[in-house]
Chain A
Amino acid sequence: MPNPLKPEKSVVTTCAYCGVGCGFKAETRAGKIVRMTPWKEGKANHGHSCIKGRFAYDYYNAPDRVRTPLIRASIDDPWKPVSWQEAFDYAASAFRRIQAKYGVKSVGAVSSSRCTNEEIFLVQKFARAVLGNNNIDNCARICHSPTQFGLTNTVGAGAASQHFDSILQADVIMVVGANPTEGHPVFGSLMKRRIRQGAKLIVIDPRKTETVESAHCKADVHLAIRPGTNVAILDSIAHVVVRERLYNEEFVRARCEVNEFENWTALVGSDKYAPEVIGPLAGVDPADIRKAARMYAGGPNSAIYYGLGVTEHSQGSTGVMCLGNLGLSCGMLGREGVGVNPLRGQGNVQGGSCLGSWPHVFSGYRFVTDDETRLSFEAEWGVTLDAEPGLRLPNMLDAAVAGSFKGMYIMGEDPVQSDPNQHHVIAAMKNMECVVLHDLFLNETSKYAHVFFPGSSSLEKDGTFTNAERRVSRVRKVVEPLADYQDWEITVKFMNAMGYNVTYNNPGEVLDEIARLSPAYRGMSFALIDRVGSAQWPCDENAPEGTEVLHRVKFPRANGLGAFMLTEYVPTAERTNDKYPLLLTTGRILSQYNVGTQTRRTPNSMWHPEDVLEINEQDAMSRGVSDGHWVKLSSRFGEIELRAKISERVNPGVVYTTFHHAKSKANAVTSDLSDWATNCPEYKVTAVDVVRTNGPAADSVQEAERPRIDELEPAECA
């Protein structure tokens, strides 16, 4: 056998998968990608990789990628392949006709967290400067929106306080509702490296995840709480911190609002949050709560990492505030080795959040109603901008059903699959006169679209991603776009067809525009990133190569002080009863990525060909269920069938499944409750029951009534 063929060319770029944002060298031979190898100088991964970024790249070349623009007059017609110009003209004239007939605000746009910063920025510019309204939204709303809300209200910035490497200075690592070794594997490896060096580990998670125990890595404390008791357990930890006077009084007096601290100590210090009260409620030993609290407060450096297990609850924002409060009270902010850090699911959730893809704010979370900010954008863009906030995606859909909203430009999202009420979304889609979908693959939404722009994968374009540690890294074109244009070019050409004249020679000029208009990105440019490799925002004249650790001197709030929020525990309305005695929680597995749009088109599916229900032996035995049996999982909202797997990872009373395969429809059973502050859906707690069945008949597989919001293709959030 000959030796392997040597790649001819290598391009450094950023992985398209999770929020770690690993640097890769994409190697090609004869214009085709033959290998992705981790980049040793990548500051998020230091030469390491996981199964997804390293190997699961071939989806880009999948046979069902759409390679030509498509149009049709009616959704009942077949698609007609056309030239790009024809597609742009068709879409532009439809939007202009709709606006002339139904008003300026009868159209809008949606962007995605898998697009580059430049594309996200251009799509919101399309809505604001070209359509002339603020009808722009994106999916970051529905996964880590509680992070934005909860952290902004405590430490002042809705982003990770640290850089990943900071964990190598941590003495105590507290992981809450996250499973980094599966969801953020390269960061998980870094965490394990630190644990092998002797750092202590606290895990708060209903499930005994791989993070809890694996080779040479074992949690010192695992609080296997009942799903839905996050806030109670975090308040109880705070109770111990307060009652045992473990807090950092010097830090609180110097850096925080002392009155609020005192209000907070009065609340969490009350007897109702004593471990002896909360322990039985949450299903954990009170002694372990005390141990966790003492360990965290004792540090000397304690760092918190959390995921959707905190945010996707009816008290998701409260849970995030609990973490902010804990960090502040123990002085675990503002230096290396500490911090409160969300682990972001998608490659560019942080960028999606920062860059103004919201109906009420411009980039940097500055309100459209603020005259000064709006004027700066008007000066740059040469048009008058609407001062009234626009519609969120759900509101756009409501307005479509009502008949006042008639056209939508959707880049990289699949609302028909994503919205909590599919019938409602379909009704909305059918009621619109022109839906322009811009994506890699035909998806559920394309059934109701009139124009399809075939997009480019991240291997086919230039731009930047912002990862979970605020790090802006370059995405570089490795192969030519399969459908001729990079996504940013498509959006610009669509703008031009709409009659808005703007030219960019390359997306670096879009980043320059972002830098001119957004304080945190003021120093960002392709040139800077090419020179230093990557840079974390804020990046400006005070931090010309970016900022690794936030909050060193003060918190980015008006008075510079950290704030304590009151975090009363309110149990979710979703409760178990005789009919639904078990609690379902959901999560991810290493080899698949979200709904699997990319990974299911690769051999990664060999590891995880279907979603299974993990169930404790005790619950399984009492139901006559053995390993591999088909079971029906039913809740107040729906039912699905899947195979059971007897597992010690879940306690009696709790079952668990993943949501990577659309056919298993895990979303059909999850509750429709959502976070009180941000409407982030409560996917992590649903009362269910499990009964053994003979398996689904071939023709009666459950259809999803209500797909979960994060089943977006390819734009779901996390």
Chain B
Amino acid sequence: MWSELRGLKDEIDFGTPPRDGSPVPLEIDSVAVTVPAGSSVMLAAAAAGRPIPKLCATDMLEAFGSCRVCLVEIEGRGGFPASCTTPVVEGMKVKTQTVALQRLRKGVLELYLSDFPESEMADGWSEFHETLKAEGVASHPYGKGGANHFEAPVDASNPYFLFDPAKCIVCSRCVRACAEVQGTFAITIAGRSFESKVVASQDQPFFESECVSCGACVQACPSHALVEKSLFEGEYKHAEPAEA
């Protein structure tokens, strides 16, 4: 019971919360696996030892389906469904590593990378960095002169963590952690499209917002946009602007 909480494992991120349902057998890349009903294809893949790359998904939060990195192919279905928002069905046959999928993922990741400070790539160890490495994406074809968020101001108002919008991929994990895990609802996404950004309360500095500094958003952030100040030596400086 309460698998959403008790089924969590320290070293594994299943991508979506564990469930309690009756067993459902399926195949992931020809590997047979059985998971509880209500589980996502993403969770089944992790359980089968065939983890699917992801950015907006983590197993402490309900699936959201925004990052489009976790796409899969399912036999008998058209298109490329997101594995995080697709529940398992008995007998389902899932492919996670086709050429078409790799091409799609690469395209998506290159778009993310095009608005991520180049100076922050070399020694990064966030989930975002690790995902790019795992998928072999080290560059993008969009040049350096495009619109970006590199100079958006850092919010260092909270004594314990900072928010650097330059590294934010707007995956909403922080927003959902604040709502689902902490229950404070202090963070939201303001604006649409390229203007969309993470804001606390009424676009206030974190320290002045309703934020209770529980750290759930920092824990959830996949790109070190929200990050503990204690991990830096010396004062935090904004990313270098990209060279045109």
Whose C-beta in chain B lies nearest to the C-beta of A55? B160
Residue on A with the closest CB to B183? Answer: A192
A603 to B229, CA, bound (A): 12
Shortest Cβ distance from residue A76 to the other chain B in the assembled complex, whole angstroms: 41
**B8 within 8 Å of A (CB atoms):** yes
Q: Which of B22-30, B90-98, B231-239 contacts A (4 or more CB under 8 A)?
A: B231-239
Q: How far is the CA of A49 from the CA of B181 in the complex (A)?
A: 10
Q: Which of B159, B184, B239 contacts A215 (CB 8 A)?
A: B184
B230 partner residues in chain A, CB cutoff 8 A: 34-35
Whether a CB of chain B sits under 8 angstroms from the CB of A54 is: yes
- Encode contact with A along B222-234: 1 for CB under 8 Å, 0 otherwise: 0010011011110
Q: How far is the CA of A3 from the CA of B236 in the complex (A)?
A: 10
Instruction: Report the count of interface residues on B (CB-CB < 8 A).
Output: 45
Contact of B213 among A25, A40, A55, A192 (CB under 8 A): A55
- In the assembled complex, B5 has its CB within 8 A of some CB on chain A: yes
Stretch with Cβ within 8 A of B (4 or more), from A4-12, A143-151, A500-508: A4-12
A3 touches B212 (CB 8 A): no
Look across to chain B and name the residue whose beta carbon is closest to the beta carbon of A5: B231
Question: A9-27 vs B: 1/0 string, CB under 8 Å?
Answer: 0001000000000000100
B1 cross-chain contacts in A, Cβ below 8 A: 336
CA distance A196 to B62 in the complex (A): 14
B210 — which chain A residues lie within 8 A by C-beta?
Answer: 215
Question: Among the listed A7, A47, A606, which residue makes an inter-chain contact with B219, where contact means beta carbons less than 8 Å apart?
Answer: A47
With A47-B8, A55-B160 in contact, is A3–B124 under 8 Å at CB? yes
Check: A63 CB closer than 8 A to any chain B CB: no
* A189-B125 in contact (CB<8A): no
The reply on B243 being an interface residue by CB < 8 A is: no
Across the interface, B10 reaches (CB within 8 A) one of A1, A41, A188, A590, namely: A41
Tell me whether A48 and B216 are in contact in the complex, defined as CB-CB below 8 angstroms, given that A192-B183, A603-B160, A606-B207 are known contacts.
Answer: yes
B9 touches A (CB below 8 Å): yes
Question: Does B139 reach chain A (CB closer than 8 Å)?
Answer: no
Task: Flag A24-53 by CB within 8 Å of B: 1 or 0 each.
Answer: 010000000011011111010011111100
> CA–CA, A168 to B3, complex, Å?
11
Q: Are A606 and B120 closer than 8 Å at their CB atoms?
A: no
Closest to A194 in B: B183
**1/0 per position for B127-166, CB-CB distance to A under 8 A?**
0010000000000000000000000000000011100000
Most A CB contacts (10 A, CB to CB) among B6, B126, B213, B240 go to B213
For residue B162, give the distance in angstroms from its CB to the closest CB of chain A: 10
Q: How far is the CB of B159 from chain A (nearest CB, A)?
A: 4
B185 at the interface (CB under 8 A from A): yes
Q: Would you call A196 and B214 a contact (CB within 8 A)?
A: no
Once the chains are docked, how many angstroms separate the CA of A147 from the CA of B192?
Answer: 53
Contact of A46 among B5, B212, B236 (CB under 8 A): B5
Among residues of A, the one whose C-beta sits closest to the C-beta of B216 is A48
CA distance A12 to B9 in the complex (A): 13
Q: Which residues of A contact B9 (CB under 8 A)?
A: 40-41
* Interface residue from A35, A37, A185 paired with B214 (Cβ < 8 Å): A185
B215 beta carbon closer than 8 Å to chain A: yes
Q: Known contacts being A2-B123, A217-B183, is A46 close to B231, with CB within 8 Å?
A: no
Return chain A residues, CB-CB under 8 Å to B102: none
Nearest-Cβ distance from residue B165 to partner chain A, whole angstroms: 14
- The reply on B182 being an interface residue by CB < 8 A is yes
In angstroms, Cα B107 to Cα A532, docked, is 44
In the bound complex, CA of A193 to CA of B177 (Å): 12
Is B125 in contact with A6, judged by CB distance below 8 angstroms?
Answer: yes
Question: Cβ of A37: which chain B residues have Cβ within 8 Å of it?
Answer: 215, 219
Are A189 and B232 touching (Cβ within 8 A)? Answer: no
CB-contact partner of A49 in B122, B185, B214, B237, under 8 A: B214
Report Cα–Cα, A217/B185, bound state, in Å: 11
Q: Can you name the residue of chain A whose Cβ is closest to the Cβ of B240? A: A1
- B8 and A40 contacting across the interface, CB-CB below 8 Å: yes
A41-B8 CB under 8 A given contacts A49-B216, A51-B215, A603-B160: yes
Q: A55 to B215, Cβ gap below 8 A?
A: yes
Q: Is the CB of A38 within 8 A of B212?
A: no
Question: Does any Cβ of B come within 8 Å of A591's Cβ?
Answer: yes
Residue of A nearest to B119 (CB): A1
Interface presence of B2 (CB below 8 A):
yes
Q: Tell me how far the C-beta of A540 lies from the nearest C-beta in chain B, rounded to whole angstroms.
A: 23
A199 to B180, CA, bound (A): 16
Chain B residue at minimum C-beta to C-beta distance from A34: B230
Residues of A within 8 A of B238 (CB): 1
A47 touches B159 (CB 8 A): no
Does B60 lie at the interface of the complex (its beta carbon under 8 Å from any beta carbon of A)? yes
Q: Does A462 contact B (CB under 8 A)?
A: no
**With A3-B224, A48-B216: A214-B184 Cβ-Cβ less than 8 Å:** yes
Bound Cα distance from A217 to B126, whole angstroms: 34
Given contacts A47-B8, A189-B183, A591-B213, whether A5 and B233 have CB atoms under 8 Å apart is yes
Q: A3-B124, A189-B183 are in contact. Are A165 and B224 (CB under 8 A)?
A: no
Q: Say whether, besides A189-B183, A215-B184, A603-B160, A3 and B216 are in contact (CB < 8 Å).
A: no
Q: Give the shortest distance, in Å, between B99 (CB) and chain A (any CB).
A: 32
Complex contact B181–A40 (CB within 8 A): no
List, in ascending order, chain A residues with CB within 8 A of B5's CB. Answer: 46, 165, 168
Known: A41-B8, A43-B6, A215-B185. A51 touches B120 (CB 8 A): no
Q: Cβ of B180: which chain A residues have Cβ within 8 Å of it?
A: 193
CB-based contact B212/A50 at 8 Å: yes
Minimum CB–CB distance from A534 to chain B (whole Å) comes to 12
Q: Which residues of chain A come closer than 8 Å to B181, judged between CB atoms?
A: 47-48, 189
Question: Can you list, as one digit per residue, whether each of B194-221 has a CB less than 8 Å from chain A (1) or not (0)?
Answer: 0000000000000100101111100100
**B 100-132 to A, binary, CB cutoff 8 A, 1 in contact else 0:** 000000000000000000011011111001000
| CB–CB A54/B8 < 8 A | no
The answer to the question of A101 belonging to the interface, with a C-beta cut-off of 8 Å to chain B, is no
Measured between beta carbons, the chain A residues less than 8 angstroms from B224 are: 3-4
Q: Is the CB of A35 within 8 A of B183?
A: no
Residues of A within 8 Å of B159, CB to CB, are 55, 603, 606
Contacts of A40 in B (CB 8 A): 8-10, 60
Is the CB–CB distance between A4 and B215 below 8 Å?
Answer: no
Give A6 to B123 CA distance when docked, in angstroms.
10
Chain B residues with Cβ below 8 Å from A5 are 231-233
Q: Decide if A531 is an interface residue (CB 8 Å cutoff).
A: no
Q: Mark A475-497, 1 if CB is under 8 A from B, else 0.
A: 00000000000000000000000
Contact partners of B124 in chain A: CB under 8 A: 3
Complex CA gap A119/B219 in Å reads 33
Contact of A215 with B60 at beta-carbon distance under 8 Å, contacts A41-B9, A46-B8 already known: no
> Chain A, 652-696, contact with B by CB distance < 8 Å: what is the 0/1 string?
000000000000000000000000000000000000000000000
How many Å lie between the Cα of A38 and that of B220 in the bound state?
Answer: 11
The interface bits of chain A over 57-81 (1 if a CB of B lies within 8 angstroms of the residue's CB, else 0) are 0000000000000000000000000
Per-position 1/0 for A602-642, Cβ under 8 A of B:
01001100000000000000000000000000000000000
Closest to B230 in A: A34
When distances are taken between beta carbons in the complex, the residues of chain B under 8 Å from A50 are: 212, 214-215
Are B6 and A34 in touch, CB under 8 angstroms?
no
Q: Once bound together, how far apart are the Cα atoms of A240 and B118, in whole Å?
A: 68
B161 → chain A closest CB, angstroms? 8
A499 to B66, CA, bound (A): 68
CB distance B227 to A4 under 8 Å? yes
Considering only CB atoms, which chain A residue lies closest to B180 in the complex? A193
Interface residues of B in 1-35 (CB under 8 A from A): 1-2, 5-6, 8-10
**A–B pairs, 23, beta carbons within 8 Å:** A1-B120, A3-B120, A3-B125, A4-B125, A34-B230, A40-B9, A40-B60, A41-B10, A46-B8, A48-B182, A48-B214, A49-B214, A50-B212, A50-B214, A51-B160, A51-B213, A54-B215, A55-B160, A189-B181, A189-B182, A189-B214, A214-B183, A336-B1
The 5 closest A-B pairs by CB, nearest first: A603-B159, A4-B231, A192-B183, A54-B215, A215-B185
With A1-B119, A39-B10, A51-B215 given, can you name 12 additional A-B contacts, CB distance below 8 Å? A1-B236, A2-B232, A3-B124, A4-B228, A35-B230, A35-B231, A47-B60, A48-B214, A55-B160, A185-B212, A189-B214, A215-B210
